[in-house]
């Protein structure tokens, strides 16, 4: 079975982003970029499925500017077999990415698509669900455990208040939660090998997809700042302040 | 113009997140209808009919909707969609699971996690773990929205008298079925709706310490227990206690962060709390940058002392 994984290039999770003073967006110039952490988990899961013999080939997908190639090379270094980049300068929103992925699924016919549950830049948490809808496939979001058994999958999902386990028919779209696995470190030999793996570049037009944004961003602003707090010297003062000043207990 | 709110419920009663979502729907203008989809859910439909500001409740009762499976619930919502300009659900695990599927089936973009309604087509939503607020405008014919519940004050659960209308169920997709559910047992208030939240971090050092130190404090305050990702990953606390960008977003009256450094990811989940208290032995910890009251102290002596002083 072929597995498709989608990876996104985002501002590194350790970076404290700054809002541009003209309110047009977040300043990403010269900022460290890396693979979205949930997508690393997605690639790792695909590679583990291959190591277990459940997957035969792993195709990694990314869409965006040319530099997304680096993100795909990272996926190849983790263990994906080949990469597909949909190269565009346009702003891509989840619905557009889901449509690009659907077009690729139609072409590649994978039995399983794995995505991260959300990207840490737009925090949308939509693409996997949208892709499943467009394909008419089942979806298993926020997965913390995936077991394949013939033409079925058993997926444990993280939900409010605990866990739930679903049984779903393949083909299927899965989105990863944090505790699905711990992604491996990429080693230097694997980075070198990844440079030789095939990486195709397509355009949205090649896939026949209109990627025009549906949501218009009018402005991006700093969140309201909290007033400066105080340090209290001891527990007695803290409790007294909570009772008498803040009146919250 | 009218809005359809997808109720979150347990078949008997409606969950609190629905009340915040009704408030957001009312802010979009027009009538507010509520969909109660489930199995044996007449009780929840009656409860939804009493919510202030709701003019109609659509009740659909079918075995295929018992477990809120995304495939079936989305199909049900899409069948009702033509009558509505706005479709809203709380940004809970269930709302996040179903609504993007609805949006794609309607060929519209979803607006995730809104915190303000500026106009019927214009909304504020946090991006980059809450480090920026984007104002977005949707040109789509129907606005499919998830609502960050902490961004909207809940409407009253009583006082309304909406009519309940039974609706024909959509067909079972047969693509998925629930085979097991494991609830974390807790007698404490629910994390998302608690007035007071006490959260522990890596500073607790072990699961035993977490329980020994945090439980008495939570019990004394009648608080919900939360945890940082570090504490959850280390196995000190169950994962549905996680507060942060990728866990729960809370905004209680009082948030007490114990042994939590205050990574961006964690702050995104709690920085809208009314009063924040930080107890940490590292006076340079970023958590002190958002705390109203900071105490630089060893949590193993400070927290028991606090329990004694309450």
The ipTM assigned to this model is 0.96
Residues of A in contact with B196 (CB under 8 A): 248-249
Top-confidence residue, B77 or B245: B77
Put simply, the answer to whether B135 touches A219 (Cβ < 8 Å) is yes
- For position B269, what pLDDT does the model report? 96
Instruction: Give the integer Cα–Cα distance in Å for A182 and B217.
Output: 33
Instruction: Give the integer Cα–Cα distance in Å for B103 and B140.
Output: 10
Residues A2-21 have a mean pLDDT of 96
Instruction: Give the integer Cα–Cα distance in Å for B298 and B310.
Output: 18
With the C-alpha atoms ordered B293, B248, B252, B190, is the resulting torsion angle positive or negative? Answer: negative
Per-residue pLDDT of B130-154, as tens digits, reads 999 999 999 999 999 999 999 999 9
- For position A227, what pLDDT does the model report? 80
Instruction: Give the integer Cα–Cα distance in Å for A117 and A135.
Output: 18
Residues A213-221 have a mean pLDDT of 97
SS3 B121: coil
pLDDT at residue A103 is higher than 80: yes
Long-range contacts of the stretch A207-211 (C-beta < 8 A, 24+): A207/A86, A207/A100, A207/A103, A207/A104, A207/A107, A208/A103, A209/A96, A209/A99, A209/A100, A209/A103, A210/A96, A210/A99, A211/A88, A211/A90, A211/A92, A211/A96, A211/A99, A211/A100
Put simply, the answer to whether A238 touches B265 (Cβ < 8 Å) is no
Strand order of the β-sheet with B2-6 is B110-114, B143-147, B86-90, B2-6, B31-38, B56-61, B163-166
Residues of A in contact with B99 (CB under 8 A): 129
Quote the mean pLDDT of chain B.
96
- Which tokens sit at B77? 């919502």
Torsion of CA B142, B143, B146, B149, to 10 degrees: -120
- Which tokens sit at A194? 């990844």
Q: What percent of chain A has pLDDT over 70?
A: 100
- Which tokens sit at A47? 């590679």
- For position B274, what pLDDT does the model report? 95
Instruction: Give the integer Cα–Cα distance in Å for B255 and B253.
Output: 7
SS3 A10: strand
Residues A169-187 have a mean pLDDT of 96
Instruction: Give the integer Cα–Cα distance in Å for A1 and A150.
Output: 10
Put simply, the answer to whether A239 touches B240 (Cβ < 8 Å) is no
pLDDT at residue B185 is higher than 80: no
How does residue A225 score in pLDDT terms, banded at 50, 70 and 90? confident
Evaluate whether B173 touches B67 at the Cβ level (below 8 Å): no
Per-residue pLDDT of B217-267, as tens digits, reads 999 999 999 999 999 999 999 988 999 998 999 999 999 999 999 999 999
A71 exposed, middle or buried (CB, 10 Å; 0-12, 13-18, 19+)?
A: buried
- For position A121, what pLDDT does the model report? 97
pLDDT at residue A211 is higher than 80: yes
- For position B112, what pLDDT does the model report? 98
Evaluate whether B228 touches B200 at the Cβ level (below 8 Å): yes
Residues B282-302 have a mean pLDDT of 97
How does residue B186 score in pLDDT terms, banded at 50, 70 and 90? confident
- For position A249, what pLDDT does the model report? 85
**Residue A147, beta-bridge partner list:** A154
Among the residues of chain B, which ranges form H helices?
A: 17-27, 42-49, 70-80, 93-105, 207-221, 229-233, 264-270, 299-309
How does residue B193 score in pLDDT terms, banded at 50, 70 and 90? confident
Evaluate whether A11 touches A121 at the Cβ level (below 8 Å): yes
pLDDT at residue A231 is higher than 90: yes
Evaluate whether A169 touches B191 at the Cβ level (below 8 Å): no
Q: What is the DSSP letter of A23?
A: S
- For position A161, what pLDDT does the model report? 85
**In chain A, whose CA is at the least distance from the CA of B130?**
A223
With the C-alpha atoms ordered B58, B64, B65, B68, is the resulting torsion angle positive or negative? Answer: negative
- For position B6, what pLDDT does the model report? 98
Put simply, the answer to whether A246 touches B122 (Cβ < 8 Å) is no
Residues 6+ apart with CB under 8 A from B301: none
Q: What percent of chain A has pLDDT over 90?
A: 94
Mutation target among A213, A216, A231, A235 for the B interface, most CBs of B within 10 A: A235
**In chain A, whose CA is at the least distance from the CA of B290?**
A226
- For position B29, what pLDDT does the model report? 95
- For position A228, what pLDDT does the model report? 79
Mutation target among A36, A217, A242 for the B interface, most CBs of B within 10 A: A242
- For position B207, what pLDDT does the model report? 97
Q: What percent of chain B has pLDDT over 90?
A: 95
- For position B1, what pLDDT does the model report? 87
Per-residue pLDDT of A17-55, as tens digits, reads 999 999 999 999 999 999 999 999 999 999 999 999 999
Instruction: Tell me whether B114 touches chain A (CB under 8 Å).
Output: no
Q: Does the predicted TM-score (pTM) go above 0.90? A: yes
C-alpha distances in angstroms, B274 versus A141, B120, B263, B285? Answer: 32, 28, 19, 20
Evaluate whether B154 touches B14 at the Cβ level (below 8 Å): no
Quote the mean pLDDT of chain A.
96
Smallest Cβ–Cβ distance between B126 and the set A123, A159, A241 belongs to A123
């Amino acid at each position: 079975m072929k597995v498709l994984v989608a990876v996104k290039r985002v501002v590194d999770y350790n970076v404290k982003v700054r809002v541009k003073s003209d309110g047009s967006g977040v300043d990403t110039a010269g900022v460290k970029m890396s693979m979205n952490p949930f997508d690393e988990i997605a690639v790792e899961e695909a590679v583990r499925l291959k190591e277990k013999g459940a997957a035969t080939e792993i195709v990694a997908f990314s869409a965006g500017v040319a530099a997304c190639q680096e993100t795909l090379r990272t996926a190849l270094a983790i263990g994906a077999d080949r990469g597909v980049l949909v190269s565009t300068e346009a702003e891509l929103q989840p619905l557009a990415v889901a449509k690009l992925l659907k077009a690729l699924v139609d072409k590649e016919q994978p039995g399983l698509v794995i995505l991260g549950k959300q990207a840490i830049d737009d925090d949308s948490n939509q693409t996997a669900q949208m892709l499943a809808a467009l394909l008419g496939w089942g979806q298993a979001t926020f997965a913390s455990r995936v077991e394949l058994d013939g033409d079925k999958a058993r997926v444990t999902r993280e939900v409010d208040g605990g866990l739930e386990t679903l049984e779903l028919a393949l083909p299927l779209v899965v989105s990863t939660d944090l505790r699905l696995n711990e992604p491996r470190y990429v080693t230097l030999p694997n980075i070198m090998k990844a440079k030789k793996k095939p990486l195709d570049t397509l355009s949205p037009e090649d896939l026949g997809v209109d990627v025009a944004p549906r949501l218009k961003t009018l402005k991006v602003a700093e969140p309201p700042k909290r007033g400066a707090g105080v340090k209290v010297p001891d527990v007695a003062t803290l409790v007294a302040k909570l009772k008498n000043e803040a009146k919250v207990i | 113009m009218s809005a359809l709110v997808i109720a979150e419920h347990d078949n008997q009663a409606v969950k609190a997140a629905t009340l915040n979502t009704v408030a957001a729907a009312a802010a979009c203008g027009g009538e507010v209808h509520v969909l109660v989809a489930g199995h044996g859910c007449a009780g929840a439909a009656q409860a939804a009919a009493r919510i202030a500001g709701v003019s109609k409740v659509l009740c659909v009762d079918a075995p295929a909707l018992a477990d809120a499976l995304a495939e079936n619930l989305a199909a049900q919502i899409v069948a009702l969609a033509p009558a509505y300009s706005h479709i809203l659900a709380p940004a809970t695990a269930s709302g996040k699971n179903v609504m993007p599927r609805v949006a794609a089936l309607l060929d519209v973009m979803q607006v995730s996690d809104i915190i303000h309604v500026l106009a019927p087509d214009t909304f504020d939503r946090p991006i980059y773990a809450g480090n920026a607020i984007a104002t977005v405008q949707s040109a789509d014919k129907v606005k499919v929205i998830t609502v960050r519940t902490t961004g909207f004050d809940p409407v009253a659960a009583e006082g309304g008298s909406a009519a309940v209308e039974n609706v024909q169920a959509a067909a079972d997709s047969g693509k998925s079925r629930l085979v097991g559910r494991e609830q974390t047992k807790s007698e404490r208030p629910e994390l998302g709706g608690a007035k007071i939240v006490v959260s522990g971090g890596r500073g607790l050092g072990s699961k035993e310490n977490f329980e020994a130190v945090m439980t008495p404090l939570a019990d004394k305050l009648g608080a919900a227990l939360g945890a940082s990702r570090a504490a959850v990953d280390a196995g000190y606390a169950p994962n549905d206690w996680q507060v942060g960008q990728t866990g729960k977003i809370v905004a209680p009256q009082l948030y007490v962060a114990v042994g939590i450094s205050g990574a961006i990811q964690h702050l995104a989940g709690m920085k809208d709390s009314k009063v924040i208290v930080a107890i940490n032995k590292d006076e340079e910890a970023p958590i002190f940058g958002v705390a109203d009251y900071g105490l630089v102290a060893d949590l193993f002596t400070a927290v028991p002392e606090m329990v004694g002083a309450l």
